[in-house]
Structure 1
């Protein structure tokens, strides 16, 4: 099973979900298609288990944050680690925690985040919303940041910088009276790094969580 999942993740990382077929997987493993059915019953199950296989590494890499004195810092460490694992895998967000019966590592990671939320002594509803917001922001933004470039960039017709410069120029040509926000942030957009954008947004979310916890204890 370990070899099956390792090769499945490899196919997904290389070319996305369309590349993961039982025939392609069997070829990488050097066996027949029928042998795959010894381990999984369908492609959906294979995708769920492949996502959970990735989560096993994330779970191991976040173990060090469990005993952090500050639960918010612990959540930050767990979230950044999850983002780093997911941003280069646009397929992962679609299958993370989709079927927890087949994804024990994903469920344990969710529990790990929830364990830090419990330390904030929020209400059950606040705790649920907090953990959901963290997972939704991290996985959702990673999927957004990791999506494939436009077809013209993939084909080599233009490179990424040329494509982005074209978008920026389109924005600059817009009337500032109609698009004041775009004209305010455009110079920042030109030089921004996706990772910095993620961390800034995550810090905003965690700052709100810290304030909510402080309000409960005051």
Structure 2
């Protein structure tokens, strides 16, 4: 006569890796990376830490899995386009918004640059670089330049958002910073003083996409 499954196995099967990853994403969004512990996760899932270890070995593996899930969803939401240039802009904006919504994702992408999440982005960009007709010898450089810019600026944007108190009006904050720039030494900071009005008026997403367009102009020169 077959033995009945152990109680712990039934509980662990019901839990599932997907549920654990979803709960980890919620916990990371609420508490940040330091708040992600197996004890806190077990409390959120109303289970024991042992059930989680059945599916995930350690915090590092869980962070990778959570990042993979967020990036996969972001890439899945990117609308397809017949024009490679526009597709790259949409991929870039998808990453930008994902990191903005989940700042811990940016930290993980920079810490583990060639894990699956980064490769997902790189693959999507690379296919569009090919579609642009870029010569084969420039494929890696072109896709890498775009990837580096997208991740770095997305991380910086998310970091900037955390520096400013949520109660502070963005326009007022930028106006105050622009005023500070204008007051800098005219000899040492001539350029910074001159672009101060643009700081006060700029839109983060528009500037981000303008940078993508600058890179794509360079990429176009490689065709």
Number of residue pairs matched? 205
Alignment of 1:75-154 (within 5 A): 75-96=88-109, 98=112, 103=116, 106-147=118-159, 148-150=161-163, 153=165
RMSD: 2.5
Q: Which of structures 1 and 2 has the bigger CA Rg?
A: 2
CA 112–44 in structure 1, closer or farther in 2 if over 3 Å, else same: same
> Could you give the per-residue CA deviations for residues 31-50 of structure 1, whole angstroms, max 9, x where no partner exists?
11121111111111110000
Q: In structure 1, what is the Cα distance between the partners aligned to 2:84 and 2:72?
A: 22
Q: Which ranges of structure 2 fall in alignment gaps of 5 or more residues? A: 1-16
> Could you give the per-residue CA deviations for residues 115-147 of structure 1, whole angstroms, max 9, x where no partner exists?
111223434441011111111111111110001
Partner of 1:72: 85
Q: In structure 2, what is the Cα distance between the partners aligned to 1:78 and 1:165?
A: 31
Q: Which ranges of structure 1 fall in alignment gaps of 5 or more residues? A: 214-218
Match of 1:9 among 25, 32, 49: 25
Partner of 2:197: 187
CA 211–165 in structure 1, closer or farther in 2 if over 3 Å, else same: same
1:57 and 2:73 aligned: yes
Q: In structure 1, what is the Cα distance between the partners aligned to 2:154 and 2:113?
A: 20
CA 204–10 in structure 1, closer or farther in 2 if over 3 Å, else same: same
Q: In structure 2, what is the Cα distance between the partners aligned to 1:169 and 1:106?
A: 38
